[in-house]
Amino acid sequence: MKTIIVPSSLHLVMYQKLLKEYSNTIDVQVLSLNSFLYDHSEQELNILYQYQKKGESLRDSNTYKNSFNDLTFLKSCLSFIRFCKLYNVKDFPEHTQKDKDLKELLLSIYSIETKEDHIKPIIDFQSVYILHKPYNDIEMKWILFLLENGAQFIDKKTQTNFHYHSMANPKKEAQWICQSIIEKNYNACDCMIFTSQESENQVLAQMLDQYNIPYTFLKKTINSFILDEFNSVFSWIQEKTLSSFLNMIQLLYPEIYKDMNAYYTSFPDSIYPSFHLEKIEYEKNYLIEETDFLYLKNAESNIKQWFLDHDFLLHLTMNDFVSICEIIQNHHINPSIEDIKAYQYVQDCYKQSFDYLKDPFLLIQYLKQSSLTQSVKEIKGVCISSLNDCNGIRPHCFIMSANAKNFPSIVIHKDIFNENYIQNTTLPSLQKRLSFQLQQLKDTLFQMEDCFISYAQSDYEGKTVEASNDIKEWIGKDASFIDVKESSNYEKTKLFISREQAKDLFFKDSIFSVSRLESFAKCPFYHYLKYGLHLREPKSVTEVSTKGTLFHSMLEHLTTIYHKDYIHVPLIEIEKIIKDEFSFFLKVYPNKKTWVEGQIIEYSQKIHRVLQQLSEFENSWHMNIKEQEYKILKKMEFEDMTLTFTGYIDRMDTSSTSFCIFDYKSSKKELRKENFQAGLSLQLLTYTIYIEENEHLKPVGCFYISLSSPFIQDEALHISYPKDNQKLGFVEPSNSNGLDEYNRQKIISGWNFDGFDIYIDSKEQFAIPKNTLSYEECKEQWDIIVNGLLKKMKEGDIQANHVENACMYCKFQRICRNNRKEVRQISFIEEEA
């Protein structure tokens, strides 16, 4: 019986080859080096726990005593012990204190059994055949041993055709490989691709799919959440924090996670809720919207109900493994084969840790670092494997990403047992190990009939990548650059919906807010998510400070009570009103008391400041406040529909013949002609047109009032440089330039129309751009713009083509990701012309 030594992931490829060449595989066994040599199924985690236990008996002064709680350190110890056992090395250096400490720890764990203590007897070396592949320095011991005793490499004695090229980026590299397979008319079953990074696999798979080339990844990552789910429970048991609790809930109880996430974001102080919202009824206020309050209250009630059946989770321990398994099983009523494998893996790890479960930390870390893979059960087309297993079983081989960093891939010890340390032991020298590894890789390349080696000149971040010197030396030439042409099929995903879907989603109830139209002009995809799919934008409690709703409501409140005298309201009165505004907020969020106190002071001062800024305007403005929060319902015919546009006018001032519109904004905003014509600033003019049509008054202007307090740079001190014998000193500025500058800021901006000058003594406080439109032009263009927007919307445009700065504060950034594209804002007026 012949034995062929081949890595387990390549067994099927080898059997396929044997069947093709000899029509049968009787008399042949294909084994991995591990299963050929060792007669023992090792329990790695159990060994690591035993090491950890041994660490406790080290001297307190040993530098590494505390490192025994670190999984990476323990794994380094195990790997080094294996290396030593292979070469029967039992004596360790003790030149320095560090050496002595390491020696103490190595001797303390050496006797713990590993698979190297259980080697099978080898009877017939002559019938052992070894596949050429890049063996590492641990495998070196066995390969050399087998060869010395009569085993042999499978040698194909072929002439290798080398092709060595570079491309602009990794995507083009994958594309070039696919194009080469097609152009050279290779049978996919004769090709192999070797990759050095898992991250390449996704792009490669997409490209092979695009070119319709069948393929198989020889190592398949087990796709199951079971490991994460167990780990979430173990982590919760180990550390009972809100974040570990929510992590467990998210994975195992997704049906309640949404409520919990919303609730605990607002009330993160305790895992078991206080359930205080059930005792509160909604009170009208400007900080918390009724829908938000009811949403939270409903979440609280659902959580309360849920805890009736699940409060055992709060008391789980590591001894409740059976209950934990039940939770996981209930979560997977129809488990996949991969789920079952992952489940068995966790059970096995738990068994290995059983005697040490007082501290599950190591088990948790071990599971976190475990990446479960399985060899495939059948192969088709091109086989894809890692560069570490590259081989010449198939004639046409592609080696990807063969740059200076990845190629040659050789093992150099860098951890605590590094090459400096190794050179003081009787283990094989670095030179011997390196030359063995390089020779293996080189011999492997020369087993291939066609060897295509490639690398991308820059990575995904655009960083330059260097070529490998070894390849150049071995094959005697530099890589030639190939400019891979983009496939016309490879395009960004197009986002679109049909006209019918657009009609159903966007025109169902015929009611539009003006801000909704503006949002469509800014980004059709945002509009689709918010108004088509009705996704909620995530909000945090502290966002009340940025919404400006409080400023807004304060001005309304003050103007309603004090009319034009609102600008003289003293700070103490403002403080009292704001305090009242926050009273409901405090009932809902008692945990935010300190934050609220700070907000009251900050808001009061800011509002007082804004009132001072507005006083000059009010003193010279000769209209009266007629309406606040005035609802508009503007009707419009569009194709076969009657649409209604809604919105609220913050403030409308009137005289007996005319009116002027004001809109409060929490940040500075300008009304620019190009924004209006692109549909981005429709609000003020929609309101103006509505009032003119319905109230029969003459419009004299429409303006934004900015409620933000701009940051002004002020000089704290002048430095006075010494003249003659004077010393260097500091002089305070004589008057505060910053305050003057602050008062000079124009907080009212917008457009004025005919007749405006009659109502104002001085236009100083207004920022009015030069390039505006007359009211008649506005009215005419408004129809064209709104029709243009509605037409686009009805055609199903949901592209993530956004105008400048639209994404800056958008909460849907994670959804649109790669499809985002900044576009120049279009003018519907130009288009029409």
Nearest to 565 by CA among 510, 625, 507: 625
Torsion sign (Cα): 167, 173, 176, 177: positive
Contact window for ligand SF4 (CB under 6 A) among 216-224, 520-528, 534-542, 730-738: 520-528
* Closest distance of CB 819 from ligand SF4, Å: 7
Does 617 participate in binding ligand SF4 (rule CB under 6 A)? no
8 CB-contact burial (10 Å; exposed 0-12 / middle 13-18 / buried 19+): middle
Cα–Cα distance, 716 to 719 (Å, whole number): 10
Q: How many CA atoms lie within 13 A of 593 on its CB side?
A: 3
Window contacting ligand SF4 (CB under 6 A); options: 449-457, 472-480, 522-530, 580-588? 522-530
Interface pattern 404-443 for ligand SF4 (x via CB under 6 A):
----------------------------------------
Q: Nearer to ligand SF4 by C-beta: 176 or 528?
A: 528
- Please state the closest distance from residue 740 (CB atom) to ligand SF4, in A: 38
The nearest distance, CB 804 to ligand SF4, in angstroms, is 11
Q: Is the peptide bond before 408 cis (omega within 30 degrees of 0)?
A: yes
Nearer to ligand SF4, 4 or 502 (CB): 502
Spell out, one character per residue from 48 to 67, where the chain touches ligand SF4: x when CB under 6 A holds, - when not.
--------------------
Rounded to an integer, what is the distance from CA 433 to the centroid of its chain? 41
Do residues 517 and 789 make contact, with C-beta atoms less than 8 angstroms apart?
yes
The Cα 362–Cα 354 span in angstroms is 12
Q: Where are the alpha helices (DSSP H) in 96-212?
A: 97-110, 137-148, 170-183, 199-210
Give the C-alpha separation, 69 to 53, whole Å.
Answer: 9
- Residue bearing tokens 């079953």: 189
| Closest to ligand SF4 by CB, 413 or 669 | 669
Q: Which two tokens stand for residue 573?
A: 């009165």
Does 520 participate in binding ligand SF4 (rule CB under 6 A)?
no
Pairing of strands 215-217, 382-386: parallel
Nearest distance in Å: CB 509, ligand SF4: 23
Helix, strand, coil percent content, the chain, rounded in steps of 5: 50, 15, 35
Q: Tell which phi-psi region holds residue 265, choosing left (phi > 0), alpha (psi between -120 and 50) or beta.
A: alpha
Binding of residue 525 to ligand SF4 (CB under 6 A): yes
Q: Closest distance between ligand SF4 and the C-beta of residue 816, in Å?
A: 3
Question: Which structure tokens are listed for 357?
Answer: 């479960």
Candidates 59-67, 295-303, 523-531, 641-649 — which segment interacts with ligand SF4 by CB under 6 A? Answer: 523-531
Residue 505 CB, nearest approach to ligand SF4 (Å):
16
Q: Rule CB under 6 A: choose which of 4, 48, 218, 523 binds ligand SF4.
A: 523
Tell me the closest approach of the beta carbon of residue 499 to ligand SF4, in angstroms: 22
Examine residue 526 and tell whether it contacts ligand SF4 (CB under 6 A).
yes
Q: How far is the CB of 537 from ligand SF4 (least distance, A)?
A: 10
In angstroms, give the least distance from the CB of 520 to ligand SF4: 11
Nearer residue to ligand SF4 within complex by CB, 122 or 497: 497
Judged by CB under 6 A, which stretch of 211-219, 519-527, 688-696, 702-710 contacts ligand SF4? 519-527
- Residue number, 181 or 806, with CB nearest to ligand SF4: 806
- The contacts found for 431-434 with CB under 8 angstroms, 24 or more apart, are 433/137, 433/140, 434/410
Q: At what angle do helices 499-506 and 775-794 cross, to 10 degrees?
A: 120
Q: Does 313 bind ligand SF4 (CB under 6 A)?
A: no
Beta carbon of residue 519, minimum distance to ligand SF4 (angstroms, whole number):
9
CA pair distance 226, 481, nearest whole angstrom: 45
The CA–CA distances, whole Å, from 592 to 260, 271, 583, 585, 603 equal 19, 17, 12, 9, 16
Nearest residue (CB) to ligand SF4, 767 versus 807: 807
315-350 burial: b if 16+ Cβ within 10 Å, else e = ebebebbeebbebbeebbeebeebbeebbebbeebb
Strand partners, 704: 663, 749
Quote the least distance from Cβ 508 to ligand SF4, whole Å: 21
Q: How many Å apart are CA 456 and CA 478, to the nearest integer? A: 14
Closer residue to ligand SF4, CB minimum distance, 530 or 552: 530
β-bridge mates for residue 638, sequence order? 641
Report the residue number, 506 or 687, with the smaller CB distance to ligand SF4.
506
As given in the structure block, the two tokens for residue 156 are: 């194909």
Closer by beta carbon to ligand SF4, 659 or else 812: 812
**Interface mask toward ligand SF4 for 477-516; x: CB under 6 A:** ----------------------------------------
d(CA 543, CA 287): 9
Q: Which residues contact 704 (CB under 8 A, 6 or more apart)?
A: 662, 663, 664, 665, 669, 670, 671, 684, 748, 749, 750
Give alpha helix (H) positions in 651-807.
673-677, 683-695, 737-744, 775-794
Residue 685 C-beta: closest distance to ligand SF4, Å = 23
For the bound state, the minimum distance from the C-beta of residue 800 to ligand SF4, rounded and expressed in Å, comes to 4
Nearer to ligand SF4, 181 or 803 (CB): 803
Q: What residues numbered 767-826 form the site for ligand SF4, per CB under 6 A? A: 800, 802, 806-807, 810, 812-813, 816, 820
**Which residue, 356 or 520, is less far from ligand SF4 as judged by CB?**
520
Burial class (CB in 10 A: 0-12, 13-18, 19+), 618: middle
User: Quick count: other Cβ atoms within 10 Å of Cβ 82?
Assistant: 14
Between 790 and 800, whose beta carbon lies closer to ligand SF4?
A: 800
For residue 664, what are the β-bridge partners? 705
126/805 with CB nearer ligand SF4: 805
Q: Determine contact, residues 436/134, Cβ cutoff 8 Å.
A: no
Per-residue contact flags (x/-) with ligand SF4 for residues 555 to 574, judged by CB under 6 A: --------------------
Q: How far is the CB of 52 from ligand SF4 (least distance, A)?
A: 47
List alpha helices for 287-427, DSSP H: 290-310, 321-331, 337-353, 361-369, 419-422
Choice between 433 and 530, CB closer to ligand SF4: 530
* Interface with ligand SF4: number of residues (CB under 6 A): 12
Site for ligand SF4 in 280-309 (CB under 6 A): none
At its nearest, how many Å lie between ligand SF4 and the CB of residue 792?
15
Helix (H), strand (E) at residue 702: strand 698-706
Q: CB-wise, 535 or 600, nearer to ligand SF4?
A: 535
Nearer residue to ligand SF4 within complex by CB, 176 or 525: 525
Least distance in angstroms from the C-beta of 523 to ligand SF4: 3
Q: Which is nearer to ligand SF4, 347 or 813 (CB)?
A: 813
State the nearest-atom distance from the C-beta of 788 to ligand SF4, in Å.
Answer: 19
User: Measured from the CB of residue 686, what is the shortest distance to ligand SF4 in angstroms?
Assistant: 22
Give the interface with ligand SF4 as residue ranges (CB under 6 A): 523, 525-526, 800, 802, 806-807, 810, 812-813, 816, 820
